[in-house]
């Protein structure tokens, strides 16, 4: 039987709370968790609750929440707008993820890692989540990552091709950077080996008139279940305070995004979509 958590009131200076693998069940997280006004890091990995208190949205400084391997978790409430990293990989019962009302303006990136969240992928909730976040990206220069199980690229991505390289011209009617949000990128990657953590990277060569720039996007893939070998990842962002771009070439790699140290993973399909 899991020990009863004491009241959390009076801990307004607490910045980190680690309750991983505490066998917490439904109702064991006290509702006064919302009183942790300084909390930035919350680790609830490996517990047995079905939901978490909706009052968590009041944690206005929360940057990181980890719910990995909470296999009975069915829904995730709306999170504080300060939240940058959400780890829900291994939450095999999860069906619904509510998005923040807006993306935090203080951070450069936002991550949702949902590896082995099969129910979430089947509901296609992640694509809905992506579209909601895209609306919040207007007038910001952010990266947003979603990683879920899957073996198809949604039709919403208008330009698709096999392999690991894709080049897109930007629409001719774009005259300046204020007229577009960024580029959404999707790829399907397969693991031929069951061991080790990996880095998934996307390298972008960007042509601005006759000037070439490079940007690198990378996210760590934590490989814990050899049975699930196909995944789908999305990322989106606009990074440059430069004159309007003419074309972008994306190179996808599994390994070190800079040095191209390859691992036994392969990329089957890639797709991109300019977001205007």
pLDDT tens figures, 202-213: 555 544 443 333
pLDDT tens figures, 21-50: 999 999 899 888 999 999 999 999 999 999
Query: Three-class SS of residue 139?
Result: coil
Report residue 89's pLDDT band, with 50, 70 and 90 as the boundaries.
confident
For residue 13, the model assigns a pLDDT of: 92
Residue 248 pLDDT greater than 90, yes or no: no
Sign of the Cα pseudo-torsion (154, 155, 156, 162, in order): positive
Under 8 Å between Cβ of 271 and 186: yes
Which domains does the chain show, CATH number per domain? 12-149 (3.80.10), 154-276 (2.60.120)
pTM of the shown model: 0.66
The arithmetic mean of pLDDT across residues 103-109, rounded, is 49
Paired tokens of 27: 């109702």
- Residue whose token pair is 């009041």: 58
Q: Which range, 87-101, 108-122, 185-199, 219-233, has the best average confidence (pLDDT)?
A: 87-101
3-class secondary structure for 37-85?
CCCCEEECCCCCCCCCCHHHHHCCCCCEEECCCCCCCCEECCCCCCCCE
Report residue 125's pLDDT band, with 50, 70 and 90 as the boundaries.
low
The arithmetic mean of pLDDT across residues 118-125, rounded, is 67
How many helices and strands, by DSSP H and E, does the chain display? 2, 16
Q: Give the residue with greater pLDDT, 51 vs 175.
A: 51
Paired tokens of 64: 């990181």
Which segment of 38-47, 160-169, 229-238 scores lowest on mean pLDDT? 229-238
């Amino acid at each position: 039987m899991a020990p009863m958590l004491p009241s959390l009131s009076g801990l307004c200076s607490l910045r980190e709370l680690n309750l991983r693998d505490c066998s917490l069940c439904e109702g064991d997280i006290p509702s006064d968790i919302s009183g942790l006004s300084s909390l930035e890091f919350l680790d609830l990995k490996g517990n047995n609750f079905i939901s978490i208190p909706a009052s968590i949205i009041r944690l206005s400084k929360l940057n990181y929440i980890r719910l990995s391997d909470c296999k009975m978790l069915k829904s995730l409430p709306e999170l504080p707008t300060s939240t940058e990293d959400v780890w829900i990989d291994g939450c095999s019962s999860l069906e619904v993820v509510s998005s923040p009302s807006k993306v935090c303006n203080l951070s450069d990136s936002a991550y949702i890692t949902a590896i082995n969240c099969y129910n979430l992928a089947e509901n296609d909730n992640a694509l809905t989540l992506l579209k909601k976040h895209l609306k919040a990206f207007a007038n910001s220069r952010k990266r947003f990552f979603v990683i879920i199980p899957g073996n198809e690229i949604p039709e919403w991505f208008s330009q698709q091709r096999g392999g690991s390289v894709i080049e897109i011209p930007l629409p001719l009617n774009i005259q300046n950077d204020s007229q577009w949000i960024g580029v959404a990128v999707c790829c399907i990657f397969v693991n031929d080996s069951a061991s080790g953590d990996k880095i998934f990277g996307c390298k972008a060569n960007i042509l601005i008139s006759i000037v070439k720039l490079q940007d690198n996007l990378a996210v760590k893939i934590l490989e814990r279940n050899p049975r699930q070998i196909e995944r789908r990842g999305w990322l989106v962002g606009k990074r440059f305070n430069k004159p309007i771009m003419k074309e972008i070439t994306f190179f996808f790699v599994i390994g070190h995004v800079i040095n191209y140290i390859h691992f036994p993973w392969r990329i089957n399909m890639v797709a991109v979509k300019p977001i205007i």
